[in-house]
Amino acid sequence: MADRLIIVESPAKANTIKKFLGGSTKVVASMGHIRNLPKSKLGVNVENDFEPEYINIKGKGDLIKSLKKDAKSAKKVYLATDPDREGEAIAWHLAYVLGIPEDTVCRVTFNEITKNAVQQGVKNPRRIDLNLVNAQQARRVLDRIVGYKMSPVLWKKVKRGLSAGRVQSVAVKLIVDREEEIEKFVPQEYWNIYAMLQDKKGKNSFEAKFYGKNSKKVELTSESQVNKILEDIKKEKFIIKDIKRSEKKRVAAPPFTTSTMQQEASRKLGFTLKKTMSVAQGLYEGVDIQGHGTVGLITYMRTDSTRISEIARVASKEHIEKKYGKDYYENRYYKKSADAQDAHEAIRPTYVELEPSEIKDSLTRDQFKLYQLIYNRFIASQMSAAVYDTMAIDINAGEYNFKANGQKLKFKGFMTLYVETKDNEEEEEENKILDLEENEELKTEKIDAKQSFTEPPARYTEASLVKALEEKDIGRPSTYSPTITTILERRYIEKDKKQLVPTELGKIVNSLLMENFSDVINVDFTAKIENEFDNVAEGKEEWKNIIRNFYGPFEETIKRVEKELEHVKLEDEVSDVKCDKCGRLMVYKYGRYGKFLACPGYPECKNTKPIVEMIEEKCPKCGGNVLIKKSRRGKKFYVCENSAKGECDYISWNKPSVENKNVEDTEKKKTRKRQTISKKTKK
């Protein structure tokens, strides 16, 4: 008989915790949730004040029996599921199944899986926090009602199997809206004038950019305007009017939250959100490190806080001063955002002494990459600012004004270790710090004018969409990854390289939902509901009040929409492709893997065809047409049409081009040359 039984979610977490407790403590895994709402029906008793109708998850019968047996034979049962609302709800369901009263002191939490944190957690158990449980229930029940009531509308008017959701549909809307902005965008012409100048000694050159006239900024919008300025300054001397020298500091980014970790892992490592969270979960739960045993390498990875513990602060100080010197340490506190729940620390390494390079051999390639990113970001966040010497130069050419800037890195600080990246970030060329003087006359090397056009807003990437969801208060750290994963799997959006693009199906679904459920599928409503969930978690609001206030108007909307759409049939788009079985013009349909052609004579004629997409570029091997196809995961690849006949074997992830062909021709020549040399050698 075990003195203590500790139940966690996963076997990996159980294995890590076991070694910290020893003795007669048994640690087992529930394998996530053991109870849930049924899939076959709404599962919410609307007539009984929206009471959830939870059932044991199918296939977990033997596991539940085993947990009950272990609990019965233990003197004390502790529920040590993850320290968030979802983890609290799992603990609550476990307590129900195991017959543990709600007011029993049985809940154990820890933000990191280290010996000290686990032992302290077990020493200081508490009751299950019903406020956190109810916040999770409010989200689960509301999302179930929205999904199960709205989705059938899509089934009737588009196709079965589609789904709508409170958060996922808003995410799709953001992507569709952005695409419409891009399509409607009208480029505006603008110009810049650049002067390449030299100091009076003719030793150093630098670039200055046109600013304006008589110290007032002038926007250049036409070639005629530019030509007049170029003509006017031909006879003018470029003279330095003013030089401002100063020092600029660049401060390190704070330690990771879930959102910023997902964004940086996407930008720096090319990880999807799903992959990032999966790898982070493994690092949190524990990895077998040579010479150390199983170690939880990072703190809990679902957090919106940049706060760190004093223990971590002291450890980082010792590490930085020892490795880089005292000048590189700066005691930093980061201001939390107004919407942050701040329930957990930022994501950081649990043991500063376990540097990524030292444990690389014990990690998978992906684990090493993400651990190094988290480690370096945290250490850098506690390091001194980078310091630059800067200069701003105002230059006059008659009545026209030019400006130039220069900077030089004086002290690298945190940039020794880590620099944050941004979406669509472009490297700006900056002049060096030069030895120039006010009233100095400059020599003119050349003056160029450049025409440009404004560009439409960029499409969302996974990283920038997460940033937008966070800024608009849509969802929480635990929901970003599943939301984007769901709309990709539903084929409402697809990836073009890293960009998220709405599919035709996504546009149709978004249009139908916006026409009929615009009061639910909108940013303001979604953000308002998230704040109400937070109020429930803090004990400020009763969770069923949210459902009661929402359900009445929503049910009326559902009834109205069903009535309005009862006699409306969405006409299928007709193609110019004839059915080769019955001669009818085929129509476009949407299936699990996207758009396809189907005979409108169904069920008499069941003929279907894939849609063949072709690119302008020809096959670099045989000159045939190149078709676009998609893998099971939705990734595009390119294949020669003659491959089906066995006449060509060209296939590539990369779009063929003249450059690719030249590369392939060069490779073929190299191969032939190697073969010739080989034959000569044999002779």
Catalytic residues: 300
The phi and psi torsions of 605 (rounded to 5 degrees) equal -120, 120
Report the distance separating Cα 5 and Cα 76, nearest Å.
6
Tokens representing 31 are 């394998």
Element (H, E) at 445: strand 441-453
SS (H, E, C) 192-241: EEEEEEECCCCCCEEEEEEEEECCEECCCCCHHHHHHHHHHHCCCCEEEE
> Helix, strand or coil for residue 500?
strand
- Phi/psi region, residue 23 (left: phi>0; alpha: psi -120 to 50; beta: rest), is left
CA dist list (Å): 397 to 208, 213, 318? 11, 9, 55
Report the distance separating Cα 450 and Cα 195, nearest Å.
11
Rounded (10°) CA dihedral 232, 238, 242, 247:
110
Q: Where are the beta strands (DSSP E) in 533-673?
A: 574-578, 585-591, 594-598, 608-610, 613-618, 625-630, 636-640, 651-652
CA dist list (Å): 142 to 52, 84, 145, 150, 560? 11, 19, 5, 12, 20
**Residue among 230, 190, 225, 187 nearest 452 (CA):** 190
Q: How far is CA 338 from the centre of its chain?
A: 21
Side-chain half-sphere CA neighbours of 1 within 13 A: 8
Q: For the chain, how far is it from start to end, CA to CA, in angstroms? A: 80
Report the distance separating Cα 50 and Cα 57, nearest Å.
20
> Helix, strand or coil for residue 546?
helix
Helix, strand, coil percentages, rounded to 5, for the chain: 40, 25, 35
Report the distance separating Cα 344 and Cα 307, nearest Å.
8
